[in-house]
Amino acid sequence: MIETSKEVLAAEQRFLTGENFYAQHFLGVQKNESGYVFRVWAPHARQVFLVGDFNQWDESLPMEKREKSGVWELVSSLPVEGQLYKFLVEQSDGRKIMKLDPFAIRFEKRPGTAAEIYTIPEKKWNDHSWRKRQKKVETLKEPLNIYEVHASSWKHHENGQPYSFKELKEELIPYVKEMGYTHIEFLPLMEHPLGASWGYQLTGFFALSSYYGTPEEFRDFVDLCHQNNIGVFVDWVPAHFCMNEDTLPYYDGTPTFEYEDPDRAHNIRWGTLCFDLGKPQVQSFLISSALFWLDVYHLDGMRVDAVSSMLYLDYDEGPWQPNHEGGNRNYEGYYFLQKLNAVIKLAFPQATMMAEESSSETQITGMIESGALGFDYKWNMGWMNDVLRFYEMDPVFRKDNFHLLTFSFMYMMNEHYILPFSHDEVVHGKKSLMHKMWGDRYNQFAHLRNMYTFMMTHPGKKILFMGSEWGQFLEWRYNEGLEWVDLEDEMNHKMQHFTAVLNNLYEKEASLWELEDTSETIELIDADNTEESVLTFMRRSKNTQDFLIIALNLVPVERKNFAIGVPFPGSYKEVLNTEKIEFGGTWTKDNLVCQSVSQPFKGFDQQIQTILPALGALIIKPEKIQTD
């Protein structure tokens, strides 16, 4: 809370210079001893009025302009908690337009767009143990397995209404814990006027959408997640914003939040406006929004959406002008993202920052001092596209396209990656992951189990969109709940069980994550067996005796007496067989324990032999080996 004139002047100056990272305490609405202080940034407005329930939405409460910053302010004793308000902005051209408060923390339910005078009450958090542990965690050396959720379509009531966070607390948290995920990541939860945007066209950058419930309910949800050792991430969208006239666009009649150049301001592809990321006041606004969510809701991190659109001037479909060097880099966006990550890491060192970014021209993860953007992780879109293309393919062609699976081994250490099977891959006619798979229904499930095993054993953190864990056949629909009725089908139920077993194996086995930031984490056994379309490799931990052998049979042909090179003599035991009957396959028992023989295989002096199920994946672990 800003109280004195000196504090107000300091906050104003920091806002103007792009250094006010808690700008919601200066702008928006604050309670004081005289009532409420309202402030809004509209530097080129002719006049601004506060309107709302408390004055019949008329022009009886004109605001005064702070000439230095272009911020309009008013102290009034009329409003009370819970009433609705807007700013009536007489724009530079004389038009009067009702505008929302960019710093509001609560809005009325859509289709209404007015802000609510709202104070988030103090909360006694019970997640101290979780937060204390997170301070000691090296995330790169820990398991990270994310369940991606669209909050209002995970589950619906019979009347079609989505669950609130109060209800999600009772059902989603136990489900995620039972399934073995380490984190939940929500599609944007901030206020947005149209559900069809999935939350990616925001209007309220500080407000939990009232469609999802109250801030108190969401804080209780996060608190209980942490008590159950589940982290919570949220998608955040600083690249662009909704074009509705009563929101941020041309707030005072001139480019305010957006670029002055209309070609840069308008995102043709998405029908939105792009933030002017070089403008100091916009930097204060956006970084304040990010810190607000991390601070007020105890979030464990954020995924920054559409990073490519902030980095490259030619990203959109419209005309563009090269930068001062003649290239396509958007330096405002580049330096803003570095600044964003630097500020967040200073305030919340353990916050996990993820980038949804698909190019390879800019280093996304790593130290800012080396020229990187400072993110912790980058979504590996190339891996995802290649893998899906491979598993959709008729197996007869796979021997000629084996590079789609193995190419990622060439660049897997270039960045710190997350392997995403996300919401973007199960909409707009792309079909669900299950529906993408080749073959009849039995083979589609076999493929899905095989593909998930490859994802879970390939270096990189993991993310899977809701419903994919049991192989939902229908595409995701944002306005309906998931097809939970699928689980009455034996194959879907067994697929869900498989995913839970695989998730728990991932979290249990240190070799799948302990050395993930080094090339020592993986050793290829045979990546050239294109004729049989079998891929074999090892994942290692710090303990030389602790490793896993992964064998993926990528065609519907069983391989008997299949040879696999191993590093040490001894016995090796199967710990996962995707074709077990409990998972939806036909195998009733495991392969026998394999005893190695002294017979060279590629670069190994020892080998084992086993049976590879058709379209099956095996994970094998040393049982008793000699390492001397």
Q: Which tokens sit at 625?
A: 């080996």
Determine the pLDDT at residue 625. Answer: 94
Determine the pLDDT at residue 3. Answer: 58
How far is the first Cα of the chain from the last one, in angstroms, to the nearest whole number?
65
Determine the pLDDT at residue 34. Answer: 87
Amino acid at 551: A
DSSP 472: -
DSSP for 139-196, please give it.
GGGS--EEEEE-TTTS-B-TTSPBPPHHHHHHHHHHHHHHHT-SEEEESP-EE-S-GG
| Among the listed residues 549, 552, 449, the one whose alpha carbon sits nearest the alpha carbon of residue 503 | 449
Indicate yes or no: pTM above 0.95.
yes
Residue 250 · residue 258 · CB < 8 Å = yes
Superfamily of the domain at 144-363: Glycosidases (3.20.20.80)
User: Which is it for strands 617-625 and 570-577: parallel, antiparallel or unpaired?
Assistant: antiparallel
pLDDT tens sequence across 20-57:
999 999 999 999 988 999 999 999 999 999 999 999 99
Give how far the C-alpha of residue 522 lies from the chain's centroid of Cα atoms, to the nearest Å: 26
Q: Which residues are marked as active site? A: 305, 356
Determine the pLDDT at residue 160. Answer: 86
Element (H, E) at 8: helix 5-16
Q: Helix, strand, coil: what percent of the chain each, to 5?
A: 30, 25, 45
Non-local (6+) Cβ contacts of 255 within 8 A are: 265, 276
Task: State the Cα angle at 461 between 524 and 619, rounded to 5°.
Answer: 45
Domain at 519-625: CATH code: 2.60.40.1180
- Please state which of the four CATH numbers 1.10.3720.10, 2.30.110.10, 3.20.20.70, 2.60.40.10 is assigned to the domain occupying 5-116: 2.60.40.10
Is there a shared CATH topology between the 5-116 domain and the 519-625 domain? yes
Which residues of the chain fall short of a pLDDT of 70? 1-4
- How far apart are alpha carbons 620 and 166 in whole angstroms? 42
The domains of the chain are located at 5-116, 144-363, 519-625
Determine the pLDDT at residue 4. Answer: 64
Determine the pLDDT at residue 2. Answer: 52
Residue 155 · residue 171 · CB < 8 Å = yes
User: Which is it for strands 84-90 and 96-99: parallel, antiparallel or unpaired?
Assistant: antiparallel
pLDDT tens sequence across 427-477:
999 999 999 999 999 999 999 999 999 999 999 999 999 999 999 999 999
